[in-house]
């Protein structure tokens, strides 16, 4: 996978049974991208998330690693009540806006997760 066009997003987890042969948008080498029907994840699903660049599609493992190393670290921004979260009693509920800003699914089954 390696790329998605969401404004605030990052690389998503790949969908089961969608393996494709792709060519790296950086160096042109062929590689396989996607999750196998047996549930084996794509090689990029366990990698740190890569923030999108409009001119770039999927990258091969070598170029993906290089791009992660060159990616600027985004400073953490403080949470904004009503925009990033709201409370229900003693429970904090994160909004879809927060999840998109975060850039990937945490796997906790969050109510407003846009990555499900």
DSSP characters over 98-113: HHHHHTS--SS--TT-
Distances from the Cα of 78 to the Cα of 16, 53, 64, 98, angstroms: 35, 25, 29, 11
Strand-strand pairing, 91-94 and 85-88: antiparallel
**Phi, psi angle pair for 16, to nearest 5°:** -55, 140
Q: What CA–CA distance (Å, rounded) separates 110 from 90?
A: 16
Q: Return the pLDDT at 17.
A: 60
Cβ–Cβ under 8 Å, residues 63 and 47: no
Instruction: Name the residue ranges covered by the structural domains of the chain.
Output: 1-73, 75-116
pTM over 0.85: no
Digit-coded pLDDT (tens) for 72-88: 766 678 899 999 999 99
pLDDT at 3 over 50: no
Digit-coded pLDDT (tens) for 15-70: 556 778 889 888 999 988 877 777 777 777 777 777 666 666 788 888 888 888 77
Q: Return the pLDDT at 10.
A: 39
Q: Return the pLDDT at 90.
A: 93
Q: Return the pLDDT at 65.
A: 84
């Amino acid at each position: 996978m390696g790329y998605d066009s969401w404004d605030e997003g990052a690389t998503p987890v790949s969908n089961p049974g969608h393996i494709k042969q792709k060519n790296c948008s950086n160096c042109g080498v062929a590689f396989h991208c996607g999750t196998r029907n047996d549930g084996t994840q794509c090689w990029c699903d366990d990698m740190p998330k890569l923030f999108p660049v409009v001119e770039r599609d999927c990258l091969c493992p070598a170029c993906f690693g290089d791009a992660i190393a060159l990616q600027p670290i985004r400073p953490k921004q403080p949470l904004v009540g009503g925009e990033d979260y709201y409370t229900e009693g003693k429970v904090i509920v994160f909004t879809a806006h927060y999840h998109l800003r975060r850039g990937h699914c945490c796997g906790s089954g969050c109510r407003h997760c846009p990555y499900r």
